[in-house]
Amino acid sequence: MTSINYNERIPNNVGLGENRRLQRALESWLPNYLNWWDELGPEGTQGYDVYLRTAVDVGTEGWAHFNHVKMPEYRWGIFLNEAIPDRRIGFGDHKGEPVWQEVPGEYRSTLRRLIVTQGDTEPASVEQQRVLGQTAPSLYDLRNLFQINVEEGRHLWAMVYLLHAHFGRDGREEAEMMLERHSGDPDKPRILGAFNEPTPDWLSMFMFAFFTDRDGKFQLASLAESGFDPLARTCQFMLTEEAHHMFVGESGVMRIVKRTCEVMDEIGTDDPERVRQAGAIDLQTMQKWINFHYSISVDLFGQELSTNAANYYTQGLKGRYHEGKIDDDHRLVDYSYPVLMLNGDKIVEESHPALTSVNEKLRQDYIDDCQRGMNRWNKVIEKSGHDFQFKLPHRGFNRAIGNFAEVKVSPDGRVISEAEWTKNATDWMPTESDREFVKALMKPCYEQGKIAGWIAPPTRGVHGNPFDYEYVKFN
């Protein structure tokens, strides 16, 4: 492992300069990437100077440098965490064996699929958010959006490096296809459903960053346990950057909630229509956005019972969240796990082999983490003295994958008829009129120190700067 070399065309700490063939291959991919960024990245922003953090180290302290940068000139790079000496595989059939520095031949196609699926999500979110820069509620929020965008771009580079370095021509072809699939494209959509949904407004953006980026946290943490060491170390560093994305989501929703509570106090009522007329987003509408973004993100964990997930685990390719902290044998041959299943029109808990339930264990860890964030939102409402609580819908609500894909489940966990779903769907999910209302609030506010009326300012700015700092300079 070498220190980060910023003199290279592609900054890296993987010794790219010593592997000229790989360096040339990645340098030939760079123009295609920049063309993609220009066409499908943040719209109309090429000339902006944005106060961005750039990775300069892979340690836990002082790893980032902050400065105004034009996004097309951002130093995207390839960074892996430092190798752990004598690291051993922590789970599955290979538990206790030295980690692999090269791809084991028998797992080549499986590992490639895992890397491609993860890599495909990174440019997808950039594409989904490409027009949001035109309606940001403040310069602070605009800067945070662009920070997420450039880091998702860097995460794409991280996966593309692995494909180029370890998978030969197949890897190079997969890397090209990363730029050919586009979010929402009817002919070449992104691989996972949630990454083909539009993100047309900032309420959706914050919910995406809270719920869907949180799925990314759990998937990356599982891959960070991998016996394939370059993948593990890549994902460990990606998690360092990913934390900011979830902070943007959680704090963004919290600031909307705070502002809504302030407006309800100002007008002396919590009536949703009156709240909307006063220019705020009512809590009931936010609950609908929660229901939608949570349910499509829950789908990202796949089938409740999965032989693929069992194989990834047994083969040592993808572990569980914080694998080393779990008190079991890390082979799961004789262990079981509770899984919710359908029994006629009832949802019942059944015990299933832990190996085939690995997806469900990860989904439960995710749900618990979502609930912790939602508790913090609810505390804002509680402190304001208003009688309302956000709730996560049942894990079977609005599912397109897994046990509940073929039935309708209410937010409180009842299997219901198509007729009951149709009757209540407008109370549970965003309607066209809801989306039009939220969209109508989305007016850009780019004056220093000012913020749109539907969201509260943050409690502090970025990297020690005040909220009214010039985070984006329009040239």
For residue range 7-36, list pLDDT tens digits in order.
788 999 999 999 999 999 999 999 999 999
Q: Any long-range contacts for 2-9 (C-beta under 8 Å, 24+ apart)?
A: 3/57, 4/55, 4/56, 4/57, 4/58, 4/77, 4/79, 6/56, 6/75, 6/77
Take residue 259 and report the two structure tokens written for it: 């502002």
Look at residue 53 and tell me if it is in a domain. Answer: no
Report the pLDDT averaged over residues 259-273: 98
pLDDT attached to residue 58: 84
Look at residue 49 and tell me if it is in a domain. Answer: no
pLDDT attached to residue 1: 42
Look at residue 8 and tell me if it is in a domain. Answer: no
Look at residue 333 and tell me if it is in a domain. Answer: yes
Q: Is 274 exposed, middle or buried (0-12, 13-18, 19+ CB in 10 A)?
A: middle
pLDDT at residue 92 tops 60: yes
| Mean pLDDT estimate for the chain | 96
Report the pLDDT averaged over residues 376-382: 98
pLDDT attached to residue 454: 98
Residue 311: band (very low, low, confident or very high) from pLDDT cuts 50, 70, 90:
very high
DSSP 394: P
pLDDT attached to residue 209: 98
pLDDT attached to residue 63: 83
Look at residue 32 and tell me if it is in a domain. Answer: no
Closest among 422, 395, 418, 396 to 409, alpha carbons compared: 396
Q: What CA–CA distances, in Å, run from 215 to 105, 210, 376, 474?
A: 29, 9, 19, 34
Instruction: Please state the domain count of the chain.
Output: 1
Structure-token match 């390839």, residue found:
78
Q: What CA–CA distances, in Å, run from 315 to 93, 304, 356?
A: 6, 19, 13
Residue 125: band (very low, low, confident or very high) from pLDDT cuts 50, 70, 90:
very high
pLDDT attached to residue 255: 98
171 contacts 114 by C-beta, under 8 angstroms: no
Look at residue 70 and tell me if it is in a domain. Answer: no
Rg from Cα positions in the chain: 23
pLDDT attached to residue 234: 96
Percent of the chain with pLDDT over 70: 99
Q: Residue 417: which residues within 8 A CB-CB, separation 6 or more?
A: 408
At 8, which amino acid appears?
A: E
pLDDT attached to residue 16: 92
Q: Looking at residue 176, which CATH number applies to its domain?
A: 1.10.620.20
Residue 330, domain extent: 91-473
Report the pLDDT averaged over residues 366-392: 98
Look at residue 185 and tell me if it is in a domain. Answer: yes
pLDDT at residue 45 tops 50: yes
Name the pTM for this structure.
Answer: 0.97
Report the pLDDT averaged over residues 40-69: 90
Look at residue 12 and tell me if it is in a domain. Answer: no
CA distance 310 to 223: 14
